[in-house]
């Protein structure tokens, strides 16, 4: 079904107010869930709302909790999220990293005891709109085996890099897994195989068969051994800098919570050459854009370009929302 | 042939002095080339020395050039490498990022107009030995197609993350390509196929056949579209922050030179909980180490563990050096 941005925003805002969030927080939560859906990332937008409410009801996400600073030194700070909503904590810490960057050239905020930030790109965009570059990452529960191992003991640890640009911000938002389990399930529902290996089957063989991969959740890191190592070091950085939970410690809980995140922002305007920066960005984008495609009908994109196009389309035509998700939200709203 | 560390160091030092480097610089260069070889990374150690000398003779690498600071703001600085040797420039900028980190909690140095830093892990180790974490990256000439494109227009942009640890530093040092062309050539020489896709063949199909991939240098990014995007944003960060050459601009030169790099260091000791940090690191490493391997004879490693083991072995047994490389170095030494 097609729903307008205004309507999604309104329904979610009222839902969150009903669940005892302050008006300000309900507004922020509704806005982030709606914006992600508008950008075409429903999987971390509206589709996540029922699970978000479930985690509130279970007490995993604390409605009233606020992230607070626990230590600081120069341009780096350590915050405790006190198990508040991931969106609210991550928004606050991104803002703090932006402020540090504007003061010191760059800033880093490490956040512990937070919850899922939903779409990581949200905060990359937030930084870019404040004219900052950002490097952001989070750890997760284990969902991929370390290279060569049988069991999932590393996280897919989403990683975000953003660069502000007048003609369209560049925003990379990727998990370290080759495919998310949500995406693998989409292939399963369509009765299709994955285009590349996506995880291990029950015989510990790499597989592109959604059914076989989904029988146990053992995802494949990007670049095999390389992504396995990258996942480990991101977990180490987030854990040590926040003195928070590692993927190992998160694994002991039934529900993924109390995770650790890092927000690095850099303010390139301190170098007073914005025009040159814009020119250099355009050169890189033009050079990659203008490559001859392997399939003549294909187009090469820069990171973030397609979600920006989806946004433009959805603003015009309205947003597609899965009916059963919308029904669940309606039910929660009337509960 | 097997050569001792002392002998490699001495021969290289004398070679570099002969090529008019100051004693101090000759010492540093010899030491970095030797250490990389000792750690088992001959491809970016002794095997690179003849090409390094060739680039000096061609004037691509300037013997007397020194990196100098061109702009700074708080915890970030921009340096110009003036086309000096990549090793000397990168060592200096890592030291500067370490100093900034100790002063501000973290520091960033962006370096332009430099040359190949050889083994990126060298600087990750340098940071770790100064009790700093590091995130370091460099751009390169184009050697991989952006995802969906025919021609190589993005770089394999090596990426380093290091974390200091008493029981052994963690050092990830990886290019964004699935396999280096050097590694692909090793498979070719052994008459073997790659274990996974490594690039494109002449029909624009992904291939694991070294001969087919090496006919045109079109490497495969880790994680297909994901590594393609990651390569782009690393190039953007390095180019914008240094106001230096992007992969696009580097592509216009016959020899890869004038590249751009970023050195980020973080000093976690500002939080005064080194014991806790050590414990958290050990937990992560134990958890991943102790996973049951798919092949019972395999062992799971943390990033940097194997090169540290190779080092220990080579210190005991001497270092294997390819004979033809050693002969070339002998010839250059007598020239």
Q: What is the pLDDT of residues B185-214, one digit of tens each?
A: 999 999 999 999 999 999 999 999 999 999
Work out the pLDDT band at B171, boundaries 50, 70, 90.
very high
- Best interface-test mutation with B: which of A233, A246, A247, A251 has the largest number of B CBs within 10 A? A233
Length of chain A: 335
Q: What is the DSSP string of A144-184?
A: BPPTTBSS--B----EEEEE--TT--EEEEE-SBSS-HHHH
Q: Say what the pLDDT of residue B118 is.
A: 97
Please report residues of A whose CB lies closer than 8 A to that of B108: 105-106, 266
Whether the Cβ atoms of residue A221 and residue B226 lie closer than 8 Å to each other:
no
Tens of pLDDT, residue by residue over B11-70, are 999 999 999 999 999 999 999 999 999 999 999 999 999 999 999 999 999 999 999 999
pLDDT of B335 strictly over 90: no
Is A217:A141 a contact under the CB 8 Å cutoff?
A: no
Q: Which residues of B touch A71 (CB under 8 A)?
A: 270-271
Name the strand (E) or helix (H) holding A13.
helix A5-18
Interface probe with A: pick from B198, B226, B241, B262, most Cβ of A within 10 Å: B226
- Total Cβ atoms within 10 A of residue A236: 27
Q: In this structure, are residues B89 and B67 in contact, taking their beta carbons and an 8 Å threshold?
A: yes
> What per-residue confidence (pLDDT) applies to B235?
98
Q: For position A234, what pLDDT does the model report?
A: 98
* Percent of chain B surpassing pLDDT 90: 98
pLDDT at B325 over 90: yes
CB A139 within 8 A of CB A239: yes
Checking if the pLDDT of B269 tops 90, the result is yes
Contact B104 A74 (CB under 8 A): yes
Is the ipTM of this structure higher than 0.90?
A: yes
Q: Looking at CA atoms only, how far is residue A62 from chain B in angstroms?
A: 25
CB atoms closer than 10 angstroms to residue A110: 28
Any residues with CB less than 8 A from the CB of B234 and at least 6 apart, and which?
A161, B137, B139, B157, B159, B176
Check CB contact under 8 Å for A74 and B105: yes
Backbone φ and ψ of A238, nearest 5°: -65, -40
Contact A277 B243 (CB under 8 A): yes
Q: What is the mean pLDDT of residues B125-153?
A: 98
Residues on chain A touching B70 (C-beta within 8 angstroms): none
Give the mean pLDDT of B240-247. 98
Which positions in chain A touch B287 (Cβ < 8 Å)? 153, 246-248, 251
Q: Which residues in chain A come in under a pLDDT of 70?
A: none
Alpha helices in A203-273 (DSSP H): 210-214, 225-242, 247-250
CB–CB contact A73 B287 (8 Å) = no
The answer to whether A132 touches A92, Cβ cutoff 8 Å, is no
Tokens matching residue A239: 């854990």
Catalytic residues of B: 44
* Contact criterion met (CB below 8 Å) for B219 and B181: yes
The sheet carrying B68-73 orders its strands as B68-73, B76-80, B106-114, B259-266, B133-138, B159-163, B170-174
**Nearest CB partner across the interface for A232, out of B75, B76, B288:** B288
Distance of alpha carbon B312 from alpha carbon B39, whole angstroms: 8
Q: How far apart are CA B7 and CA B34, in angstroms?
A: 9
Q: Which domains does chain B have, with CATH numbers?
A: 2-61+321-334 (1.10.1530.10), 68-177+222-271 (3.30.1370.60), 178-220 (3.30.60.50)
Positive/negative CA dihedral, A174, A180, A184, A186: negative
In angstroms, the separation between the Cα of residue A66 and the nearest Cα of chain B is 21
Give backbone dihedrals phi and psi of A210, rounded to 5 degrees, phi first: -55, -45
Nearest to B149 among A154, A227, A300 (CB): A300
Cβ–Cβ of B104/A104 closer than 8 Å? yes
CA distance A237 to A18: 38
């Amino acid at each position: 079904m097609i729903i307008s941005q205004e309507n999604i925003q309104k329904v979610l805002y009222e839902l969150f107010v009903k669940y005892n969030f302050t008006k300000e927080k309900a507004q922020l939560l509704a806005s982030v869930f709606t914006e992600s859906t508008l950008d075409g990332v429903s999987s971390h937008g509206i589709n996540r709302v029922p699970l978000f409410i479930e985690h509130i009801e279970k007490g995993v996400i604390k409605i009233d909790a606020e992230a607070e600073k626990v230590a600081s030194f120069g341009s780096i700070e350590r915050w405790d999220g006190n198990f508040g909503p991931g969106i609210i904590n991550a928004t606050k810490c991104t803002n703090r990293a932006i402020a540090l960057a504007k003061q010191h050239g760059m800033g880093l905020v490490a956040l512990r005891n937070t919850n899922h930030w939903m779409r990581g790109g949200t905060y990359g965009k937030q930084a870019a709109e404040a004219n900052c570059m950002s490097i952001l990452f989070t750890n997760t529960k284990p969902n991929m085996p370390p290279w060569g191992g049988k069991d999932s003991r590393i996280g897919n640890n989403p990683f975000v890099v953003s660069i502000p640009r007048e003609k369209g911000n560049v925003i990379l938002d990727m998990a370290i897994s080759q495919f998310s389990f949500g995406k693998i399930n989409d292939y399963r529902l369509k009765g299709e195989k994955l285009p590349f290996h996506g995880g291990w089957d029950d015989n510990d063989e790499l597989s592109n068969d959604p059914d076989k991969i989904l029988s146990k959740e053992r995802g494949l890191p990007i670049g095999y051994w390389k992504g396995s190592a990258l996942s480990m070091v991101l977990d180490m950085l987030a854990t040590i800098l926040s003195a928070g939970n590692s993927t190992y410690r998160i694994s002991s809980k039934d529900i993924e919570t109390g995770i650790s995140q890092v927000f690095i922002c850099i303010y390139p305007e301190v170098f007073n050459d914005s025009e040159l920066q814009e020119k250099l960005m355009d050169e890189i984008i033009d050079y990659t854009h203008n490559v001859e495609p392997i399939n003549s009908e294909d187009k090469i994109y820069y990171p973030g370009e397609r979600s920006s196009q989806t946004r433009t389309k959805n603003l015009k035509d309205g947003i597609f929302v899965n009916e059963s998700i919308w029904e669940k939200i309606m039910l929660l709203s009337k509960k």
